[in-house]
Amino acid sequence: MKTTVNNVTTKGRSTLLMLLLLVPMLAMAQEYPSKDKLRPVDEMRLKVQYNVDFHYSKEKPEKVKRDVMYTEIGNKVCHSYIEREWKNEVKFNRNYENDGKRGTNAFFALYSNIGEVFVGYPKGKNTVIYSLDVLGTFKYEEPTAKLRWTITEEKLDTLDYHCTMAVCKYAGREYRAWFTEEIPVSYGPWKLCGLPGLIIKAETVDGEYRFVLGGIETVKTPADISLWKRDFISTSKKKVRKQEKLLLSRPDAVLDQMGIGYGAVSYDGSKPKFKFFTYDNPLEID
């Protein structure tokens, strides 16, 4: 028998904390901006780490990269972000404060650009933030998706949790996720939420993206889920996708547009063509 789920209410806070006494702890260090640049949006209850594997090139499907995602879970808001993207944004903002220039990573490796997501903030919406390298930091709001999960009878014991599989479609991809009711919060990585338990593992059916639990940290002292107030470029999702596509497929064109010179010189004095890291397989395709 299959069950379709739209909205789920979580169980009590005391039950959650009691269950989490058995969950392996994970120390997660993060560099935060100063408090005057943070806007608290919820009280943090859990901090979850996911390992993210993704195939960034359609032309070379054997190429796989790994990132680390942190998901901060509160009473009403869930905040997810990629560790390297966050650290990169901290560096870019320092550069901008020092000399008015953000800098670029296009010479080495652009990141996964999964983005920073606040599910449920403001109420009924998501706030989505993209750090698009030298182009700046973009922000838009969208309605929180009511994911139509279909819960199957398939079970899986993984990472010491008893899990059930559910499937849904979102943003052009089909997902299967394994959740555990042993941790009764209806959140998971990125925008994947709405199941009657924490998502332990999620993947696209085509295998191009995978999120796997790496660790859980209970929040023992009061801490906030906060939005870092930056010089955002407020825009729409459609416009962000257009800029993202240009950056990830033609970083050379972006650098030309910004007036940033580049080139490579070999030991014999010749100037071979500079090869950039490119990326043509974003997580959201619709």
Q: What is the pLDDT of residues 59-100, one digit of tens each?
A: 888 889 899 999 999 999 999 999 988 988 888 888 888 998
Residue 279 has pLDDT above 90, yes or no: no
Asked whether residue 271 is domain-assigned, the answer is no
The answer to whether the peptide bond before residue 122 is cis (omega within 30 degrees of 0) is yes
Q: Which helix (H) or strand (E) holds 115?
A: none
Residue 184 has pLDDT above 80, yes or no: yes
The residues facing 243 across adjacent strands are none
What pTM was computed for the model? Answer: 0.86
Q: Specify the 3-state DSSP secondary structure of 10.
A: coil
The mean pLDDT value for 113-125 works out to 93
Q: What is the pLDDT of residues 187-228, one digit of tens each?
A: 999 999 999 999 999 999 999 999 999 999 989 888 999 999
Asked whether residue 68 is domain-assigned, the answer is yes
Q: What is the pLDDT of residue 21?
A: 37
The number of distinct structural domains making up the chain is 1
Asked whether residue 214 is domain-assigned, the answer is yes
- Determine the Cα angle at 172 with ends 248 and 284, to 5°: 30
Lowest model confidence (mean pLDDT) among 25-34, 102-111, 207-216: 25-34
Asked whether residue 277 is domain-assigned, the answer is no
Question: Which structural domain range is residue 91 located in?
Answer: 3-258
Asked whether residue 70 is domain-assigned, the answer is yes
Q: What is the pLDDT of residue 58?
A: 83
Asked whether residue 282 is domain-assigned, the answer is no
Asked whether residue 264 is domain-assigned, the answer is no
Asked whether residue 263 is domain-assigned, the answer is no
Q: At 106, is the pLDDT very low, low, confident or very high (cuts 50, 70, 90)?
A: confident
